[in-house]
Structures are given as structure tokens and as C-alpha cells.
A and B are shown apart, each in its own frame.
Chain A
Amino acid sequence: MRELVSNSEALCEFLKNMIIDTLKLEDITVDDIGNDTPLFREGLGLDSLDALELVVAIEKNFNVIIEDENVGKKAFASIKALADFVQEEYTQED
């Protein structure tokens, strides 16, 4: 997992797949999600309930806990923001 986290491109790809699998987004592929596409509202169209599931998925996959809503909002701004967040927190945990 450390190798994956340290590779930004691979991590972004992993996160896209994680979102599609966790939220069962049947009509969306990895190619449909840009690294800077907003995940919520006008972007990918996710909502606050989807965020709950993603918080749990991030904790399960990376052992990174998002306990604060504002931290979550920042982290879930885009795939790039989420990857940066995971890299930062995962490194801190090691």
C-alpha cells in the first residue's frame, strides 16, 4: 500500500476505482473522472450520503480516519485533493 500511496498517478487511478466500486456507479468509468473534476454537485454529482460511504472506504483501504466534516469537504473536493490528503495522512501515520 505504501508503494501505491507514494505513486500519485496510481493512487488517483485506485481512488477512482474505489469510488466507482463503493458507490456502484454503473454508468461511469475511470476515464469519465478527471483528476480535477469536483466529486460533488456539478461535478460527479455525489451527495453527503455518498461521502459517508467514501469516508468508510478511505479508512478501510488506507487506515486514514476523516472525523471532521470540514476536513472531509476539503479532501473530497476532487480526486487530486483526495490523493493529496491520503498521501499526507498516510505518511503521517507511518
Chain B
Amino acid sequence: MEFKDKRVIITGGTRGLGRTIAVNFAREGAWVAVSYSSDNSSALDTDAELKRISTQSLTIKADVSSRTSVEEMMSNVLSKWEYVDILVNNAGIIRDKMLLFLNEDDWDRVLDVNLKGTYLCSRAVIKPMIARKSGCIINMTSPSALTGRISQTNYAASKGGVISFTKSLSREIARLGITVNAVCPGVITTNMTEDLDEKTKNDFLQMIPMGRFGDPDDVAGAVLFLASEKARYITGQVLVVDGGLT
């Protein structure tokens, strides 16, 4: 039970990678709060699973791009749990289009959720972390931020911003015992990759030196490592989990 009674918030934690990360923390004894934006069905499902395996859990509807919504969520969590040990900024969206067709709303929405959301959620937990001189923030980024990707100018810019945010904030609060790192998952097996046609799948697989897509648990393992005592001297880093893709 590596995270017994540690208090963890995972944004976008009711589906996909976020859910796997949440479940892994819960299995290790953590108190887990997950946020979701709109999918009530997966929220109910994840909520039931977390209640089954964790000591304490919360499932909260919140829009990470809205300051008032984030403050409400954090105040809800802090009023019950007093402080937060670990924040995983996982909530993210894509709106892939070639720049020529990428309208202002496509740009704004992706930047608002992926980058502004990371800023708002980090800012909302930072005071209790400073007060305790302890804490850990893990931001999810993407290989698109490192290499660029067609149709992802908005997404790549947002995730590149997350990396720069991570590095700057880590320097700002390193002395206060708070670590800030990023995890960069490559192509991970999710519903989205299962829907790909065979040719696209094979094209992806050819590019991955390890010859397979990542498993969500591969990513959760990296997140839990950065949140653990083993990583207490690691800050401002991007841990790439992509089978050698980048």
C-alpha cells in the first residue's frame, strides 16, 4: 500500500487513462477524487469502482477551464479532506484539424481545457501544498508536443505549453518540497486505438520500436512512480512512456 491515505485528485479521471490512474492509486490505498466534465455514465461506473476499492473517494463534475468550477471542486475536496498530496492534471481534449480549417473556437477550447485547466487546477491546490511544504503535481502531456503532429497545431501547442508550465512551476516551488513533473504517453491502447483500421494500426506499430501499443497500466505506473517517495528528488522532468516512439 504505497499510497495509504494519500489524497489524490485526478482531473478527467473517470475515463480512459485517467480512470486507470485513479484505480491504480486506489489499489495502493490512496483517497481518490476524480473529476469529469460531461459523461455521466462513465462517471457513475468509475465512482462505483472507486467506492469498491478505495478507503475514500469522490467523483465531481467540473469544467477545468472555468476558474469558478475549479475553485468549487477544490473547495469541495479540501473541505472534506483538508489537503491534497497529489494532483494529476489529466483532463484533456482534442479537436484535430488542419490549420486551414482550424477555427478560433477549436483553438480556444483545446488551449482552455488542456493548458488553462492545468494552470487553474495547480493554482487551486498550491496553497495547501505550500502550507504543508509537501506535494506533487503531475501533468499529462503528449508526443505531439515533442515532435509535432499533422492536424494537431492546437493540441501540440497546448501540450507544449504544459511542458513549459511544468518546468517553470517546478523551479518556482522546488525549495518548498513540492515536485512538478509531466508524463508523456505515446500511443496507448484505448477505445480510440481499437477503432483504428488495420492499416493505420500497422503504420503506428511500425513507428514504435517496442512493436506494440502501450497499455494504460504502463502510463499509470509512470504516474505512480513520479508521485512516490522513490521520485522525491525528481522535478521539472518529462517522463516519456512511448515504447521508444520519440
Contacts and interface: CB of A to CB of B under 8 A. Distances in A.
A53 B127 contact: no
A59 B173 CA distance: 18
B175 interface: yes
A57 B128 CA distance: 10
Nearest to A47: B175
Nearest to B130: A56
Nearest to B132: A56
B100 interface: no
A94 B131 CA distance: 24
Interface residues of B, number: 8
Contacts of A1: none
Contacts of A60: 131
Query: Main secondary structure on chain A at its contact with chain B?
Result: helix
A59 B127 CA distance: 9
A49 interface: yes
A35 B70 CA distance: 39
Given A49-B173, A52-B173, A60-B131, 6 more contacts: A49-B175, A53-B131, A53-B133, A56-B130, A56-B131, A59-B127
Which 10 A/B pairs are nearest by Cβ-Cβ distance?
A56-B130, A56-B131, A56-B127, A49-B175, A52-B130, A53-B130, A60-B131, A49-B176, A59-B127, A52-B176
16 contacts: A49-B172, A49-B173, A49-B175, A49-B176, A52-B130, A52-B173, A52-B176, A53-B131, A53-B133, A55-B127, A56-B127, A56-B130, A56-B131, A57-B131, A59-B127, A60-B131
